[in-house]
Structure 1
């Protein structure tokens, strides 16, 4: 009789064992770590309520480690398939802690004010070598475009898209070329060409930055290709003695657009150079730091392209003489250079960058 009872209890234990073991495993897992979770939750709750002064230095120093432990606990809990309540609690806690450890510290308005108050300029100044490399590359691209079409005018059609060349082709008379830059800004052909310049430069800026991960080489090639188009057109107008007038036509918005391309190219080169020459840091660490700085520069590039579009849409339409256009272009060039390289209102931001 005793053997029968013992056998019955053994079968019952085997039946309930999996569920009981899973529950026991979940309880043990939670009890071993719950103290750290509660401490992390308390710190995060006070920070979310804006009570940072009530958080001790000890808790602030422990916050990153507590966050990492909670994230590790969440990963283990998912692997062990613990109870839903524990998983939901950990997921919410880790998400809240992430925003306190890695999330933005200021609102968009505060960030934008700091950005314009020195953050953008500080990031640009940190890329002086990369800007110099991009500038030399762009000048070389203009020379390459000029020399190619001078040696063989057929190169012009390869460098300048035919759908936007309209009357601007080798062999065009001075009167024809002059008519494209004076007095007819409202014509559809010129508007189309202007739209092409803006969209092309915006695409080039984005690509120049995005291709920086390949050690910056595609970025430099893209800069050469883009500025070679400008070199080809400069040659075309120079052939009819209109180089000065064409430069004024381009300068109104070109000094801002080309400046934006220069900074975008420098941002791409900056990332590529950080990956190729990380120094004492790991490649990922160096690339991450360069990426953050470059992203801030690219935010400014977008702003510059918007300003260039407004200049192209209004200033060039209203000003129809070369000296006036050159004055606008020169003023914008001086403004951007002074603002980015010499004006340092927010010294704290500049030093931090």
Structure 2
């Protein structure tokens, strides 16, 4: 055996484990199994790629076995296209978000979503009972700019006009209500890192506002009409708030109870899932805005309003929790 063969053999023996590991990861990606790679695998890929480039450089400079050089060139080329190749088209990434990433993220925060819904229901029930017994509580719960003059002092005719007229004060009121709910959604998510405490309070408060408004309309004999008016867009909008709150709680729980990971690592891991869920919340708020700006004004029948709201809620539930989620979009 020549000295060059011995040198090539020692060189291969010292580095072959890294090459085999890189080749195994590349094979998994090329077979469409990239979503199954762990975080450690993803962090390891560029490190192994740089190590392979270094080996290739040494092999060329020292004139090692030509077959070895060819193998390393092929391996480095494959790794390059995996790491720096052409990105999937935009439509492919968008379809992946809706077909896989978003529903999977929502399912991952299912427990927190249930808690968020219960918190809003508790707040709504508490405020409803308080305002029904003493209407003065309405002013302590609902901000004046959000109430827009609709409170215990309003007559049934004034409240009915709000529910069935599309212009003027109603449009302004609806816009303020949508803006308020969008702000609540963003704050529920953004403040989740503080162990979830601000998120819990915001969810309770948003439920209180809903309960106070319903109490006023029920006391004037317009309870069903108010529910129908809210449902056409409210099922989507309130569900979006609950999901935003769930995303915030998911981060808060990871910070409070990180398990074996550090608080920082746990927060980062939970933040990835929560961020995907929050991107979807923005989509839901956009849908709610269209339903509120168009559907609520065009549709004046209470039954039709309630039906639209019910179908919207059922659609979201089926999409998030019953639709099959494709783990591999390319497979």
TM-score (norm 2): 0.73
1:7-58, CA deviations, whole angstroms, 9 ceiling, x for partnerless residues?
A: xxxxxxxxxxxxxxxxxxxxxxxxxxxxxxxxxxxx9xxx9xxxx89xxxxx
> Pick from 243, 246, 252: which aligns with 1:263?
243
Report the CA distance shift for 1:281/1:108 in structure 2 as closer, same or farther (over 3 A). Answer: farther
Find the aligned partners of 1:102 and 1:331 in 2 and give their Cα distance.
44
**Residue aligning to 2:60:** none
Residue 146 (1) aligns with residue 125 (2): no
After superposition, residues 117-136 of structure 1 pair within 5 angstroms as 117-136=99-118
**Residue aligning to 1:277:** 257
After superposition, residues 106-121 of structure 1 pair within 5 angstroms as 106-121=88-103
After superposition, residues 196-215 of structure 1 pair within 5 angstroms as 196-215=176-195
After superposition, residues 13-162 of structure 1 pair within 5 angstroms as 63-65=45-47, 106-162=88-144
SS in 2 for 1:347: coil
Indicate conservation of the 8 Å contact 2:132/2:219, yes or no: no
Q: CA RMSD in A?
A: 3.1
Indicate conservation of the 8 Å contact 1:164/1:192, yes or no: no
Moved more, 132-141 or 160-169: 160-169
**Residue aligning to 1:171:** 153
Report the CA distance shift for 1:104/1:122 in structure 2 as closer, same or farther (over 3 A). Answer: farther
Find the aligned partners of 2:171 and 2:85 in 1 and give their Cα distance.
44
Report the CA distance shift for 1:307/1:240 in structure 2 as closer, same or farther (over 3 A). Answer: same
Residue 185 (1) aligns with residue 179 (2): no
TM-score (norm 1): 0.69
How far residue 151 of structure 1 moved from its aligned partner, in angstroms, is: 3.8
- Consecutive unaligned residues of structure 1, counting only runs of 5 or more, are 1-42, 54-59, 70-96
How far residue 279 of structure 1 moved from its aligned partner, in angstroms, is: 1.7
SS in 1 for 2:259: coil
**Residue aligning to 2:210:** 230
**May I ask how many residue pairs the two structures share in their alignment?**
268
1:321-353, CA deviations, whole angstroms, 9 ceiling, x for partnerless residues?
A: 11010000000000001001111242337xxxx
After superposition, residues 323-334 of structure 1 pair within 5 angstroms as 323-334=303-314
How far residue 63 of structure 1 moved from its aligned partner, in angstroms, is: 4.7
Residue 297 (1) aligns with residue 277 (2): yes
Residue 254 (1) aligns with residue 237 (2): no
Larger Rg: 1
